[in-house]
Structure 1
Amino acid sequence: MTLLEKVKANLILDHSADDELIEMYTTAAIKYAESYQHLPEDFYTNNQMPPTTEQAVIMLTSHFYESRDGSTGGFFSDNVQAGQQVWNTVNLLLRLDRDWKV
């Protein structure tokens, strides 16, 4: 299953009308992961993404997609702190595979 297919499964989307948009958000989420983890740019182009990082990318991509109109959206949408909860969860997952440089 491709990353696009995993994101669409997470979003419960069964159409391809937004595939280009989702791929754009996925690229942004991967760039964020590489930066947060202190990895070189395009690291995940040439290296396998660990499962925890992949889950963070899926969650962040889904958040970008569901929040594209400026709302918080997503699985935390009933909470005032929804946007922050998404970022906290994503960052916790990304920390597991972080290159801890000083």
Structure 2
Amino acid sequence: MTLLEKVKANLILEHSEDDALLQNYITAATAYAEGYQHISSGWYVENAMSPTTELAVIMLSSHFYESRDGSTAGFFADNVQAGQQVWNTVNSLLRFDRRWNV
């Protein structure tokens, strides 16, 4: 299963009309992961993601998609802290694979 397919499954999204948009969000989330983990840009083009990093990228891509209009949408729509909760969770997941010896 591709990363795009995993993000769509996470979003319970069955159409393909937003695939290009989702791919942009996946690219942005992956770039964020690389920066947060202190690895070079494009690292995950050549190297596999750990399951933990992959989950963080899926979550962040999904958050970008659900919040694309500037609102807090999706599962946590009734929680004003939802955006911060997503970022805290993503950063916690990425911390597991962070490289401290840069």
The size of the alignment, in residue pairs, is 102
1:1-102 correspondence runs (5 A): 1-101=1-101
5+ long unaligned stretches in structure 2: none
5+ long unaligned stretches in structure 1: none
Q: CA RMSD in A?
A: 0.9
The question of whether the paired residues in 2 share the 8 Å contact of 1:76 and 1:85 is answered with no
- Report the Cα distance in structure 2 between the residues aligned to 1:97 and 1:75, rounded to whole angstroms: 27
TM-score in terms of structure 2 length: 0.96
CA deviation string 1:27-86 (max 9, x = no partner):
000000000000011000000100000000000000000000010123322211111000
Give percent identity, aligned residues only: 74
- Report the Cα distance in structure 2 between the residues aligned to 1:30 and 1:75, rounded to whole angstroms: 22
Question: What is the one-letter code of the residue matched to 1:24?
Answer: N
- Report the Cα distance in structure 2 between the residues aligned to 1:63 and 1:77, rounded to whole angstroms: 11
Partner SS state of residue 78, structure 1:
coil
